[in-house]
Amino acid sequence: MSQIGVTGLAVMGANLARNIARRGVPIAVHNRTASKTHDFVSEFGSEGNFTGSDSLEEFVQSLERPRRIIVMVKAGAPVDGVIEDLVPLLDKDDIIIDAGNSHFVDTRRREQYLTEKGLRFIGTGVSGGEEGALNGPSIMPGGPRAAYGEVEEIFTTIAAQVDGEPCCAYIGADGAGHYVKMVHNGIEYADMQLIAEAYDLLRHGIGLDVPTIKGIFDEWNTGDLESFLIEITATVLGKTDAATGNPLIDVIVDQAEQKGTGRWTAQDALEQGVPLTGITEAVFARSLSALRDQRKAASGYLAGPQPGGLSESLVDDIRKALYASKVVAYAQGFEQMASAARTYDWDLQMGELAKIWRGGCIIRARFLNRITESYAETPDLVNLLMAPYFRDAVADAQDAWRKVIVSAVDQGIAVPAFSSSLAYYDGYRRERGPANLIQGQRDFFGAHTYRRVDKEGSFHTRWSQDGTEVKTD
Ligand code: 6PG
């Protein structure tokens, strides 16, 4: 009998199954198209104890009880389809584990549905791409605590390990795991956009060539910015196109695609009223990049400065701007998770989340240690920017950060994530902003009332009548 099963043997499912099998866990594998299961077993069968099944019935029968079934199919309707097929074949307390990039709202719905059927459901985030799935991903499981207990050993064994600790921890009830994975992806979007903006300034603002920029990213990867995304940026920039002999980056179409997790993060932030500006700008930047034909038409038509000629002394300033903006992206992402914890009644452990992102996942980075430390020092930290380490880091970077944004604006180089992050920072550190005027306007045209700084209660001014103020409550 197999201890666990994986259905869905596309690359993520296949790699996860191999990872589990390589740790000595007997595993059942299944795919809708039986030939795929056969191919999988003949190719990787020697890596562990696999039981391949042609039918879902056979697959379910080959599992120990309570059954533990990882579903690794495309997010959305296919997950519901597999669940519907599995339900009649399962027994009380069996566990279905959705390890795809499902929307947390769907996970909440599925968890409730399966609980009503006497089954258990774990919605788990798995990050690290194909490589991570095979060699150790970061795992973010959500669902009933007791159900997690049944898979904990396998999950913590297959996860990436950092300083002897697994990059896997129980996140919280129902959709908490997929929620945290969603925000992880949102941060991934912001991080990628910030790196792209830095590249744009180096390339078109200063005018450096691609090999030089590759070298800069290599160097940045030895300091505070050390991370998987900076590392792969250098690798991507170092790749020569076999067909043209030029850097591959120069022949890749400048349209960023997206599968939805970044958009969901931004949508949820709007729902919760969390000012998630960096991630949201990163999503919009992808949308703008997609308008390739319009950009082509506008490029010879709309006026603006021609970039180029910035001093090379700006390189280090760009590094600092990138770091400060990245801090803001994380601060906002963590603020969003704290808000979600209140909304959905999840006991999210912020320091723990940063800890399980230190290895295996796409946003793994040296600076996550600092986030863990900050939450360890102050568990109820309201905003990462208020932690002494990050306050000082941003204070050190801010002159450079401002200079870089001013230069970009002068040059006509769009840096939406850099500049929105700075705008957030400047807005956040203002005790009194200009929203008093907005309240005055709202009261003028809609009698929406305002509060006063010197008195309790709500007030309205009779703007179009006698101009007197009345207390409305
Ligand atoms: C990960 C990645 C992974 C996937 C992204 C891509 O953590 O392993 O985030 O989940 O590569 O979802 O997302 P986009 O296609 O939206 O860029």
Confirm if 268 and 340 have CB atoms less than 8 A apart.
yes
Q: Which residues are annotated as a binding site for substrate?
A: 101, 127-129, 184-185, 189, 259, 286, 442, 448
Q: Which residues are annotated as a binding site for NADP(+)?
A: 8-13, 31-33, 73-75, 101
Confirm if 30 and 52 have CB atoms less than 8 A apart.
yes
| 188 counts as catalytic | yes
- Any idea which residue has 């769907």 for tokens? 106
| 181 counts as catalytic | yes
What pLDDT is recorded for position 374? 96
Q: How remote is the CA of residue 310 from the centroid of ligand 1, in Å?
A: 34
What pLDDT is recorded for position 215? 98
Q: How remote is the CA of residue 318 from the centroid of ligand 1, in Å?
A: 26
Looking at domain 181-428, what is its CATH homologous superfamily? Answer: N-(1-d-carboxylethyl)-l-norvaline Dehydrogenase; domain 2 (1.10.1040.10)
User: Pick the catalytic residue: 188, 197, 281, 335?
Assistant: 188
User: Pick the catalytic residue: 36, 181, 326, 355?
Assistant: 181
What pLDDT is recorded for position 133? 97
CATH 1.10.1040.10 region(s) of the chain? Answer: 181-428
CATH 3.40.50.720 region(s) of the chain? Answer: 4-174
Please give all residues whose beta carbon lies within 6 A of any atom in ligand 1, as ranges. Answer: 101, 127-129, 185, 188, 257-259, 261-262, 361-362
pTM of this structure? 0.96
Architecture of 435-471 per CATH?
Up-down Bundle (1.20)
CB atoms under 10 Å from CB of 388, counted, come to 10
Q: How remote is the CA of residue 463 from the centroid of ligand 1, in Å?
A: 52
pLDDT in tens, the chain (473 residues): 999 999 999 999 999 999 999 999 999 999 999 999 999 999 999 999 999 999 999 999 999 999 999 999 999 999 999 999 999 999 999 999 999 999 999 999 999 999 999 999 999 999 999 999 999 999 999 999 999 999 999 999 999 999 999 999 999 999 999 999 999 999 999 999 999 999 999 999 999 999 999 999 999 999 999 999 999 999 999 999 999 999 999 999 999 999 999 999 999 999 999 999 999 999 999 999 999 999 999 999 999 999 999 999 999 999 999 999 999 999 999 999 999 999 999 999 999 999 999 999 999 999 999 999 999 999 999 999 999 999 999 999 999 999 999 999 999 999 999 999 999 999 999 999 999 999 999 999 999 999 999 999 999 999 999 999 999 99
Q: How many residues does the chain have?
A: 473
Mutate to test the pocket of ligand 1, among 16, 19, 72, 101 (most ligand atoms within 8 A of CB): 101
| Nearest atom in ligand 1 to 129's CA | 8
The amino acid that residue 153 corresponds to is E
* 67: nearest Cα among 51, 91, 48: 91
Phi/psi at 117 (nearest 5 deg)? -90, 5
Q: Kindly report the protein residue whose alpha carbon is nearest to atom 1 of ligand 1.
A: 127
Looking at domain 4-174, what is its CATH homologous superfamily? Answer: NAD(P)-binding Rossmann-like Domain (3.40.50.720)
CATH 1.20.5.320 region(s) of the chain? Answer: 435-471
What pLDDT is recorded for position 87? 98
